[in-house]
Amino acid sequence: METRTIRYAKVRFQEPDGKKRTVLLENIKTGNKFVVGREVNNEGSPIAPRNADERIRAIHKDAILSIDPLRQNLKYGTLEPA
């Protein structure tokens, strides 16, 4: 299984009910069937539901519409297109 790691990315995908969603992910690992990463906000801080440390997303590759790499702006600390 070939894996590739990306630091930050904006992933746009379609849910099974047809809704299109966009999430920002950190430490993305891509495999043969899934893209897995930790969900973050615009500043790169992890988003976590109550009583959890982090939110991990596993998105099937067939549902992904686009993956855009991001980088962290050193001056403002926000994520921007690479």
In tens digits, the chain (82 residues) has pLDDT values of 455 567 999 999 999 999 999 999 999 998 899 999 999 999 999 999 889 989 999 999 999 999 999 999 989 989 999 8
DSSP 46: B
What pLDDT sits at residue 6?
A: 72
Contacts 24+ apart (CB under 8 A), 76-82: 77/43, 77/44, 78/42, 78/43, 78/44, 79/8, 79/10, 79/24, 79/40, 79/42, 79/43, 79/44
What pLDDT sits at residue 11?
A: 96
Q: Single out the residue of 32, 26, 31, 29 nearest to residue 10, CA to CA.
A: 26
What pLDDT sits at residue 1?
A: 47
Q: What is the pTM of this model?
A: 0.86
